[in-house]
Amino acid sequence: MRRIGIVVGAASLFITASAGVSVGAPALDPREPTTEPVAAHHPVFERPLIAVAHRGASGHAPENTLAAIDVAHELGAVTVEVDVQLTADGEPVIMHDTTLERTTDVEAVFPDRAPYRVSDFTMAEIRRLDAGGWYDPAFAGEPVPTLGEVLDRMAEHDLNLLLELKEPELYPGLERAVAEELFDRAEWFRRNPPWEPRRLVIQSFDWESVRESQDILRPVPHGLLGMVPEDRIDDYGWAAMINPNHRHIDADYVRRVQEAGMEIMPYTINDRATMDAVLGLGVDGFITDYPEVGREAIDDLDDGDRFGAPAPPAPPVAAND
């Protein structure tokens, strides 16, 4: 059973800038400290279940490319997950592996540059690589995108973003570099209303990096990848999500995370039977290479109108996001 969203009545509550940004109001500048209360002019509804498109629709297009994001959008995904690292010249680049040979033609273009670490190549050099032909000749010539390009393409499609800081211990300053890209795009600091999926969540398996990013980007929700021990969940109450491997959870763990006020979206689930089983545990969503299959699994739940049209707006109130 998923936790039930609370609808706030006429009572006025306020949230600080560290807790959220009011819907429909100008985004707060996270670089400016403030103690002023921010009214959230919406009630709290339960967020819909979502099937997050893993590295874009990576079951249908080369992972972590603009093409994969475009396909995710075409398939009806509402949230996309991608991975970010840093190039040798400090450019935030979208890539999962810390080396380039699996998903590009780097060995052909730069035959003498092994071990082909992302951090050993400048962005100009990475621009010379084909990140699509390995997947299918139809995608030949697809470039490795920058974080800025991904943010802009996703904004164009009105997609939400689950952004993973990949191996941040290899990239000192990754958290700040990501923040600077976001500072240039204020629309990413606007929060969706609480009956829609979150606009932006930053996550990592490196929980110290997540906390550092949270300190820089105070209005942005952050998530912990991996399995937080049950007796330590309360220690991470500042996080918005815990997203573990689906093989390691049960209904009791899901309930424990949600009782602590966090969402849980396990990874990476690609077959329908496992999707159904994990949804039965009461999760808030899951990550998949096949967002259209995930959407079908969610739509097929016998759950009344919960995932239909959003509830009608209530009179302005203030509430936590």
| Residue recorded with tokens 């009179």 | 315
From 60, 73, 96, 222, the catalytic residue: 96
Strands (E), the chain: 50-54, 79-86, 92-94, 160-165, 200-204, 222-225, 241-243, 285-288
End-to-end Cα distance, the chain: 21
How many CB atoms within 10 Å of residue 79?
23
* Cα atoms found within 13 Å of the Cα of residue 262, Cβ hemisphere only: 28
How many CB atoms within 10 Å of residue 23?
16
How many residues belong to the chain?
321
Cβ proximity of 40 and 11 under 8 Å = no
Residue 60 known to be catalytic: no
* 257 strand-pairing partners: none
* Cα atoms found within 13 Å of the Cα of residue 73, Cβ hemisphere only: 16
Residue 246 known to be catalytic: no
> Which residues have CB under 8 Å from 96's CB, separation 6+?
55, 63, 64, 83, 103, 166
Q: Identify how many contiguous H helices and E strands the chain contains and give both numbers.
A: 9, 8
From 42, 54, 60, 222, the catalytic residue: 54
DSSP state of 5: P
Cβ proximity of 175 and 165 under 8 Å = yes
Instruction: Supply angle C-alpha 202, 205, 209, rounded to 5.
Output: 60
* 223 strand-pairing partners: 203, 241
List, by residue number, the catalytic residues.
54, 96
